[in-house]
Amino acid sequence: MARPDIDLVDIGTPNNLHAEIAIAAAAHGKHILCEKPLALDLEQARRMQAAAAKAGVVAMICHNYRFAPAVQFTRQLIAQGKLGRIYHIRAQYLQDWIMDPEFPLVWRLQKDVAGSGTHGDLSAHIIDLARFLVGEFESVTGLLHTFVEERPLDTSGEGAWGAQGQSGQKRGKVTVDDAAMFLARLEGGVLGVFEASRFAGGNRNGNRFEINGSKGSVRWDLENMNNLQVYLADDPAGLQGFRTINCTEGGVHPYAENWWPPAHIIGYEHTFVHLVGELMNGIAAGRSPHPNFEDGVRNQAVLEAVSQSSSSGQWVKVQAG
């Protein structure tokens, strides 16, 4: 951290190390890019935010899905009032990579290292997208569940994406959730339905949302990330319905001007390029672009409120401040 030739620290470690590294980086005046979720819990996240603010460093959190052109264009449509008053957001993030009960007990399945399971890994992304697109969370009620409670100990050394376990291996307890679902009230009277699971067979990386308003609706699916489905209520009778917008038009769709001619699609990796571009522009300008550590704290507050609700069976108010 003390080396003068290092200006930026990119934290891609397991979650239990985020706070220690980020606070040390800030103390040495290093800019920070941190993987999500920001920390193990809300208290850690707040300390990370405070350290970055005190040091005056640029500190971003790596919610790359914000930076798909179709997602950015959705935000523009909402801001321009094209969808009218927003009524609903429903979002899913579904995967299936740990359905085999012999899949080993990697770090993502251990609470002391990961903080939470599917909830922190996948719910964090759709929480961030909801905040980015329609506003802050006010209260939540949720359910976290673990389907496979014991797994073979991970001896592969391959980390979160380790090889399949073998029968007869020693087993350890899974201490995080396999699936998370919750209802939410967001600012402005928006209602939200959120679901995340690593047990949704056939879904390799199913990150999707639909937003409904008084004048229209949008749908987006990461697995078809260049396309945005748009419905506008003022279309003529007989022509109403969802249309497909290929968000690759330079000068119209955000970031598209940096790449290829229209309909020459971009990919998953470009969401990171866009995020890092914003990070570098922020460092040049001396500001922390969104999503920054404040966003990380707000996302962590929603994650924690859902966890509390799952334990209590009650609605929980989101306490981000």
Binned at pLDDT 50, 70 and 90, residue 148 comes out as: very high
Q: Tokens 């003529």 belong to which residue?
A: 236
pLDDT at 157 over 90: no
**Is 303 exposed, middle or buried (CB count within 10 Å of its CB: 0-12, 13-18, 19+)?**
buried
Residue 57, pLDDT score: 98
| Cβ atoms 256, 69 nearer than 8 A | yes
Prediction pTM value: 0.95
Residue 244, pLDDT score: 98
Q: Given this structure, which CATH class describes domain 66-285?
A: alpha beta
Residue 161, pLDDT score: 53
Share the mean pLDDT of the chain: 95
Residue 46, pLDDT score: 98
pLDDT at 109 over 60: yes
Return the domain boundaries, the chain.
66-285
pLDDT at 116 over 80: yes
Residue 154, pLDDT score: 79
Residue 252, pLDDT score: 97
Give the sheet arrangement for strand 216-221, strand by strand.
243-246, 227-232, 216-221, 206-213, 86-94, 190-197, 179-186, 137-145, 316-317
Among 111, 141, 144, smallest CA distance to 318 is for 141
pLDDT at 254 over 90: yes
Mean per-residue pLDDT for 301-314?
Answer: 98
Among 66, 71, 98, smallest CA distance to 299 is for 66
Binned at pLDDT 50, 70 and 90, residue 107 comes out as: very high
Mean per-residue pLDDT for 194-207?
Answer: 98
Residue 166, pLDDT score: 56
Residue 59, pLDDT score: 98
